[in-house]
Structure 1
Amino acid sequence: METVRQNVGATDAPGVRPCPECGTEVTLHAWYVTWCAACDWNVDPGAPDPERGRLAKVRRRLAARHGEQLAEEIERGGSGAGRGGADRSTALAFGLALLVHGVTAGLFLAAAVLIIGGWHTGIQPVLGVLLLVAVALLLPRPGRLPKGPPVLFRAEAPGLFGLIDEVGAAVGTTGVDAVVVDASVNAGVRTYGYRGRRVMFLGLGLWEILTPQERVALLGHELGHFANGDVRSSFVVHGALRSLVEWHSVLSSVKHDNIMDWFVNALTFLPRWAVYGLIHLLDGLSLRASQRAEYMADAGAARAGSSGAAVTLFDRLLVSEGVEAHLRRESMAAARAGGGSGGREVREAAERELWERLAARIGSVPENEYERLRRVSARRGHSVDDTHPPTHLRRRCLASADPRPALVVCDGPRAQVVAAELAPARALLARRVIRDHAG
């Protein structure tokens, strides 16, 4: 397809021209693709990124098929739970995960028997200790709070945590123990520590381009994962996947520098590929249940922030590449300006204005471009990643459901309190984004 972009200089005023395919007038916008809504001329001028590897292609097709089936079930008024096959897949996933944990437990028991029962032999306790080391390597480890990004706790951000608590109550769960703020165009939740404390990740690249109600919807989606459960995130399945990844890492082949390396690689060849197959089997068995959890979390977004806010939240996800490109441009512009006189002042100004300029830039995206991106999303099957259903299906399910009013309202004063609590993290991350390139 032809790539047509307009650059009208200092003004963003749109113009018009006839579509070369059907003659319908099409709108010209500065910096955006020119396309025709009547015949889809030039709607998708860029080629999609190629899939990496055969397994990645299969996995993506499987994810798309599950996403379409679940969307149809939900639109017919079901919960997306499915019948028979889905339940069997979930049961098999748990069974396989328990088997993985059983192997680890068996190794531990064997080590105990060797150490205690064979103490008089001398060699058996040594073998037992080696098995204990193997068990220690293979055990799933609890998550940790990251050390790089700012981490907020309840005492330093009561307004933000109060909002999260209220959204949690709206979707049927509790709040979180910590909030990690970074510069990504993303958000997420998980547990950390042996006590299973909850942490939420807020990427300012996404948070700053949302309206207050879209932010509530985002919080509702993420907390919905705690409220509804997610097979892939459960300790049993997630822990088994992590154990299998550890096993595969331990069994990875080594360089063929000598005959011993050849012998070790030959010895671990079959176990290594068996573990690799188990990883993909467990991943595939839990994929449909994981996608169903995403649809249920989307319903939590609508319940907390309103259906309208949840729908427009998905439009913001479609411009994520634009967010990343804008942040790169800002940092590179500051780097170029930093080489001349007043370079320090230029960088500091760029840091102060980074998030406001990002919000203004994304806020200026015309509806015509959002519609184009929605059509491209449907053509390519765009998704956050291949564990998520296609974005256009998630948006369609929300848009076709009965409208929901917001259970949690984030009005002006409340939004200002939250913004003030996030201000130190915003300033620190803006400085990091700018200085990553400015040096």
Structure 2
Amino acid sequence: MTETAGAVGGIGGKRRYEAQAQAQAQSQAQADAESDADPDAQVQGVERAEAAEQDCPACGERIPADRRFVVWCVACGWNVDPGRGANKPAGTRVERLRRRLAHRFGEQLFADLGREPVSTSAPTTTAAAPGGAAGVLAAGLALLVHGITVALAALALWLLIGGWGRGFQPALGALFLALAFALRPRFGSLAKIRGDAPVLERLDAPRLFALLDEVAGAVGTRGVDVVLLDAEANASVLTYGIRQRRALTLGLSLWAVLDRQERVALLGHEFGHYAHGDTRHGVLVGSALRSLDTWQYMLAPNHGETIMDQLGNLLTAVPRLAVHGMTLLLDQATLRASQRAEYLADTSAARVAGATAAAGLMDRLLVTDSAESVLQRETVAARTRIGRTARSEDPAEGLWERVAAQVAAVPEREYERLRRVAELRGHCVDATHPPTHLRRRHVTRGERHPAGVVLDAARSADVDAELEEAGRTVARRVLRDGHMA
């Protein structure tokens, strides 16, 4: 849960998808408005949906036929994954390769970590850094990337100083110096990281930060300096600045649907990344990956049709391929370590919140689409003013409660179906995470112990009160700009 996957696909396909999603969301928003106006009809409709049954076409077993969800058979597995053949992994060839490798490494690490079962009795001290050839290769490639930047800066200074007054050498030196400056290791800044997201500091939310400090201490690390809030169904941690200050980003679409201990598990997972380390987010390798991203951006082919465009593409073809190859090598050299870091972060979640809460967190990751669909419907409803008579004049009021209610309505049999689908497809949050079903098994095997941190109702309410105003700000921005913006 430390990375988010980017959208993949052409602009034409995206427009078609958005048009269909908007039409479906508007239709659903109208239905929601009507049901809000007539609560009795809504309750009766839900009761009819839950009470309906049918015979399984494959085995004849009586099965629920709730049309809000996929109708399937627990006994024989009929229709458990109706879209399996049509929903093939999207993305480029490289992205599909990364997913296959993620699945393979995830299975290998699951077996390896089975010899070190989850224990909630003591902090986990296992490091996540890569060892052996992979670790040496990752460090070597990162040093090579930074070495190229240093060499480019040195060449630029030599051309500027030694070649001053000698034709075009100073101009070439200035160009190389600008390139070296663009490729310098970056530590990030809070202003760039936050964007327009609300930022909470300790004085803004003392009870929230007290909870964060307690969870971080139970995991074996220190807390964060700031908390950023957004609308995503995700959470992440990062460091920024030369002093490597810490920030936690909480996605309210995920936070809202978790129960109290699942929230502790989420925090335990994120702080687990600090406790166990993750090579990709370290200063050496992380800054090298960012430099390579800059190289790829600068060397991206120009899609113009002029002779100069084609000549430029030809001249940059070799360095572009070299940068691409180096990125792939560094990516693969750190993939296994990154997956191990995820497993160890899950171990931290199970230890601090309990195995049941950690497993519940994994289940919620399977239904994040439901939370996102609510945001899409609410955005359409706010823009078209549907259902205003049945709701508050400010549509942002209670948005996260409505997201939570949507996910709370998902029955256990749908979670079971999604768990089976995840196993069939090898579901991952993204290509750097192990398969979700293996992560869930990992946190539920081994000896069980009480949760290290218990979040009671009163304390949870205090934290929610501190998040309320910033959460309302995020809700207004979502409804104004759209969740997909």
Aligned length: 429
Q: d(CA) in 2 for partners of 1:14 and 1:194?
A: 60
State the SS of the aligned residue for 1:9.
helix
Single out whichever of 18-27 and 295-304 deviates more from structure 2: 18-27
Cα deviation, 1:95-125, whole Å, max 9, x if unaligned, reads 1111111111111222233334444646544
Cα deviation, 1:241-260, whole Å, max 9, x if unaligned, reads 11111112222222444433
1:290 aligned partner? 338
Q: Pick from 274, 295, 301 the counterpart of residue 226 of structure 1.
A: 274
Q: CA, structure 1 residues 254+333, in 2 after alignment: closer, same or farther (shift >3 Å)?
A: closer
Q: How much identity, in percent, do the aligned residues show?
A: 50
Q: CA, structure 1 residues 412+279, in 2 after alignment: closer, same or farther (shift >3 Å)?
A: same
State the SS of the aligned residue for 2:432.
coil
1:76 aligns with 2:115: yes
Q: Pick from 338, 345, 349 the counterpart of residue 301 of structure 1.
A: 349
Aligned pairs for 1:29-428 (under 5 A) are 29-46=66-83, 47-77=86-116, 87-119=132-164, 121=166, 123-143=168-188, 144-338=192-386, 346=391, 348=393, 350-428=395-473
State the SS of the aligned residue for 1:352.
coil
Indicate conservation of the 8 Å contact 2:126/2:276, yes or no: no
Q: CA, structure 1 residues 75+8, in 2 after alignment: closer, same or farther (shift >3 Å)?
A: farther
User: Unaligned 5+ residue runs, structure 2?
Assistant: 1-42, 118-123
Q: d(CA) in 2 for partners of 1:118 and 1:52?
A: 47
Q: Which amino acid aligns with 2:145?
A: V
Greater RCO (Cα-Cα under 8 Å, separation 6 or more):
2
Q: Which amino acid aligns with 1:57?
A: R
2:24 aligned partner? none
Q: Alignment RMSD, CA only?
A: 2.6
Q: d(CA) in 1 for partners of 2:432 and 2:44?
A: 40
Indicate conservation of the 8 Å contact 1:184/1:204, yes or no: yes
Cα deviation, 1:166-205, whole Å, max 9, x if unaligned, reads 1111111111111110111000011122321111110010
Q: d(CA) in 2 for partners of 1:315 and 1:18?
A: 28
State the SS of the aligned residue for 2:227.
strand
Deviation at 1:423, TM superposition (A): 0.5
Deviation at 1:349, TM superposition (A): 5.1
Deviation at 1:430, TM superposition (A): 2.1
TM-score of the two chains, using structure 2 as the length reference: 0.83
Indicate conservation of the 8 Å contact 1:179/1:202, yes or no: yes
State the SS of the aligned residue for 2:396.
helix
Cα deviation, 1:301-328, whole Å, max 9, x if unaligned, reads 1111111110111000000111111221
Cα deviation, 1:353-373, whole Å, max 9, x if unaligned, reads 221122122112111111011
State the SS of the aligned residue for 2:397.
helix
Q: CA, structure 1 residues 260+433, in 2 after alignment: closer, same or farther (shift >3 Å)?
A: closer
State the SS of the aligned residue for 2:193.
coil
Q: d(CA) in 2 for partners of 1:372 and 1:159?
A: 38
Q: d(CA) in 1 for partners of 2:46 and 2:218?
A: 46
Indicate conservation of the 8 Å contact 1:97/1:236, yes or no: yes
Q: d(CA) in 1 for partners of 2:279 and 2:239?
A: 14
Q: Which amino acid aligns with 2:203?
A: A
Single out whichever of 117-126 and 378-387 deviates more from structure 2: 117-126
State the SS of the aligned residue for 1:26.
strand
Q: d(CA) in 2 for partners of 1:284 and 1:317?
A: 25
1:9 aligns with 2:45: yes
Q: d(CA) in 2 for partners of 1:359 and 1:399?
A: 25
Indicate conservation of the 8 Å contact 2:50/2:64, yes or no: no
Q: CA, structure 1 residues 86+60, in 2 after alignment: closer, same or farther (shift >3 Å)?
A: farther
Q: d(CA) in 2 for partners of 1:307 and 1:327?
A: 30
Single out whichever of 177-186 and 87-96 deviates more from structure 2: 87-96
Q: d(CA) in 1 for partners of 2:480 and 2:152?
A: 49
Single out whichever of 142-151 and 204-213 deviates more from structure 2: 142-151
